[in-house]
Chains A and B, each alone.
Chain A
Amino acid sequence: MASAAERAAQLRAQADALEQLDALVNDLTAAKTAYRDNPSRENRQALRAAMDAVRTARAAARDNDLTVGGDAYVVTEEA
């Protein structure tokens, strides 16, 4: 079992990763708007770079498998 300090460090790292991901998604939204307004080669390259950055961040922040969380629960019937 992780200590309280280790658990706190894990939560801080998770919060930092989510903040970074939010910032990258905001950058992505801006890049999409810029490309839509002016579909230049430069804006296309910037859009591709923004998408790649978000993809990389999500790959690092998520679990390997799809997960369902929040307050969701699964009802299991006992045999």
Chain B
Amino acid sequence: MAISSGLFLQTFISAFSTGLTIDLTSDTDLKAALFTNSLTPDFDTDIGYGIDPYDANEVSGAGYTAGGQVLTGTTLTGDSGVVTFDASDVTWANSTLTGVRGVLIYDDTQTNKNGIVLVNLGADYSTSNGSLVIQWSASGIATWDLVP
């Protein structure tokens, strides 16, 4: 069992078919939640936060509230056929956490709290009454190449 990075297929299908409306530029709707490496995603079928497998293996500890924290400074930009989703870096200050391996970004305003992207941090990180700072890639959190 291990976390990998990927986009949630069902969310994008719903957005283009059944009227699921997600604003990736919202500074209030989207949240980032932390999970351990015991999580095994299936990006073809996974739905969102609180629904299997995201109903278990969320990290817990001082300085962390279940469900994660709101993403701010979101941007959705496009250039040369590539759409880029990004946001301000996130920090869990004064936290004591163990085995943080993945970040789930999801829409907290949807009934199913639809997942958008899961990001593998590449290692199991811990803090001891300190700050966990996640700096997204210079290329953004996620990209969609519309003209591959």
Residues in A lying within 8 Å of B, measured CB to CB = 25, 28-29, 32, 48, 51-52, 54-55, 58-75
- Cβ-closest 9 pairs across A and B: A71-B130, A70-B131, A70-B133, A62-B138, A51-B75, A72-B125, A69-B133, A25-B73, A55-B77
A69's nearest neighbour on chain B, judged by CB, is: B133
CA distance in complex: A62, B140 (Å): 9
CA distance in complex: A26, B75 (Å): 13
Q: Are A70 and B130 in contact (CB under 8 A)?
A: yes
**13 additional contacts (CB under 8 A) given A55-B75, A73-B125:** A48-B77, A51-B75, A51-B77, A54-B75, A55-B140, A60-B138, A64-B137, A64-B138, A66-B119, A66-B121, A70-B131, A71-B127, A73-B127
With A72-B130, A73-B125 already in contact, the answer to whether A66 and B25 are too (CB < 8 A) is: no
A-B pair count, CB < 8 Å, reads 90
Q: Are B75 and A28 in contact (CB under 8 A)?
A: yes
Closest Cβ of chain B: how far from A15's Cβ, in Å? 15
CA distance in complex: A51, B100 (Å): 30
Q: What residues on B are CB-neighbors of A32 within 8 Å?
A: 25, 27
CA distance in complex: A68, B89 (Å): 10
A64's nearest neighbour on chain B, judged by CB, is: B138
Can you give 25 contacting A-B residue pairs, CB < 8 Å? A32-B27, A51-B25, A54-B73, A54-B75, A55-B77, A55-B84, A55-B86, A58-B136, A59-B138, A61-B138, A62-B136, A63-B138, A64-B137, A64-B138, A64-B139, A66-B119, A68-B121, A69-B135, A70-B91, A70-B127, A70-B131, A71-B128, A71-B130, A72-B125, A74-B126
